[in-house]
């Protein structure tokens, strides 16, 4: 069982919810963690159990980063909106830096998330 972090920018939350619904059976065999709004939306859309952290801008991104640094997260699925500036861009960069530093698979879009999920 992998510990999977789930987060998405506002304009990508629907995409992540659809992806999670498409992979509900496989995701149900893993431990899921999500930032507040994203996690709640995934639970509402799929019925999956998602451990809820704070909303991303309120510290949820940093909580996921801490989980990575402490070895408590195996995969990060982070659907990023490349077309919008994010007010908490520094937090987003820190989270992606930690995933890279600690060699945690990081999926930023559906195609990569599909590939990562196929291997866990």
3-state secondary structure of 9: coil
Mean pLDDT value across the chain: 94
pLDDT category, 87, cuts 50, 70, 90?
Answer: low
Residue of 93 and 38 predicted with greater confidence = 38
Q: Which of 35-39, 66-70, 86-90 is the least confident region?
A: 86-90
pTM for the full predicted model: 0.94
Which contacts (CB < 8 Å, 24+ apart) does range 67-72 have? 67/3, 67/5, 67/33, 68/5, 68/95, 68/98, 68/99, 68/102, 68/104, 69/98, 69/102, 71/102, 72/3
pLDDT above 90 for 88? no
Q: Residue 109 class from Cβ within 10 Å (0-12 exposed, 13-18 middle, 19+ buried)?
A: middle
pLDDT tier, 42 (very low <50, low <70, confident <90, very high otherwise): very high
Provide the 10 A C-beta neighbour count for residue 84.
11
Q: Which of 84, 98, 62, 70 is nearest to 3 (CA)?
A: 70
The residues carrying an active-site annotation are 61
Give the domains, in start order, of the chain with CATH numbers. 3-118 (3.40.50.1380)
Strand partners, 106: 76
């Amino acid at each position: 069982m992998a510990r999977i972090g789930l987060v998405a920018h506002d304009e990508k939350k629907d995409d992540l919810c659809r992806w999670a619904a498409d992979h509900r059976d496989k995701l149900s065999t893993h431990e899921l963690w999500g930032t507040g709004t994203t996690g709640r939306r995934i639970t509402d859309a799929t019925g999956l159990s998602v451990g809820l952290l704070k909303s991303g801008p309120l510290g949820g991104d940093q909580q996921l980063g801490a989980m990575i640094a402490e070895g408590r997260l195996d995969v990060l699925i982070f659907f990023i909106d490349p077309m919008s500036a994010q007010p908490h861009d520094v937090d987003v960069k820190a989270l992606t830096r930690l995933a890279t530093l600690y060699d945690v698979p990081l999926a930023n879009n559906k195609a990569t998330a599909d590939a990562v999920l196929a291997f866990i």
